[in-house]
């Protein structure tokens, strides 16, 4: 094999080895927004979300006071920035759920995984099924009403570290 052929071969191996890491991200987020009463309210939330660099598309449903966000490829998604954008528009979240391919993450024995430098604790990891989209419902004061965390057994803090730490429930039923 020539020197040039060897370099091409090594480059291809490096690209193949890094491809799964580049795909490891959330595919979409569904959110419920409290207080949407008119089209201007809905538009205000939509415009705040569209300002985020990782957002490709936003679809708001005023009748159900919900939204769907799709993301740009290879852009790290910041869940806390989504919550902040809704708050900056003058509203609060009723729920926030994110879809992720479970094959893209490795869940530790402590019930957590890391993605883009952030840590995600998962309650209900026994619901992880290969080939099925993992829907994570975010819990905590920024991601739902008071008591959004009630009834969920979450892992102990400190066993998984990241820039931002999130608590989630796997495949939980959507709050009403």
User: Do 45 and 57 form a contact (C-beta atoms < 8 A)?
Assistant: no
Please report, for the chain, the start and end positions of each structural domain, with discontinuous segments joined by +: 24-170
In whole angstroms, give the CA distance from residue 46 to residue 39: 10
pLDDT of residue 12: 40
pTM flag (> 0.85): no
In whole angstroms, give the CA distance from residue 65 to residue 37: 8
pLDDT along the chain (176 residues), means of 10: 46 38 71 95 97 97 96 91 96 93 74 85 66 82 67 62 82 61
CATH class given for the domain over 24-170: alpha beta
């Amino acid at each position: 094999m020539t020197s040039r052929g060897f370099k091409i071969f090594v480059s291809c191996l490096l690209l193949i080895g890094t491809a799964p890491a580049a795909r490891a991200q959330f595919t979409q987020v569904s959110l419920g927004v409290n207080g949407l009463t008119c089209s201007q309210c809905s538009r205000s939330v939509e415009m705040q979300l569209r300002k985020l660099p990782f957002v490709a598309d936003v679809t708001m449903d005023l009748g159900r006071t919900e939204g769907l966000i799709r993301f740009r490829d290879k852009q790290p998604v910041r869940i806390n920035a989504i919550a902040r954008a809704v708050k900056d528009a003058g509203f609060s979240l009723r729920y926030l759920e994110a879809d992720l391919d479970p094959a893209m993450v490795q869940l530790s024995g402590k019930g957590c995984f890391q993605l883009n430098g952030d840590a995600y604790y998962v309650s209900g990891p026994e619901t992880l099924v290969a080939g099925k989209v993992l829907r994570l419902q975010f819990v905590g004061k920024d991601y739902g009403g008071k008591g959004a965390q009630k009834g969920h057994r979450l892992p102990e803090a400190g066993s998984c570290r990241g820039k931002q730490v999130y608590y989630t429930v796997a495949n939980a039923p959507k709050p009403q």
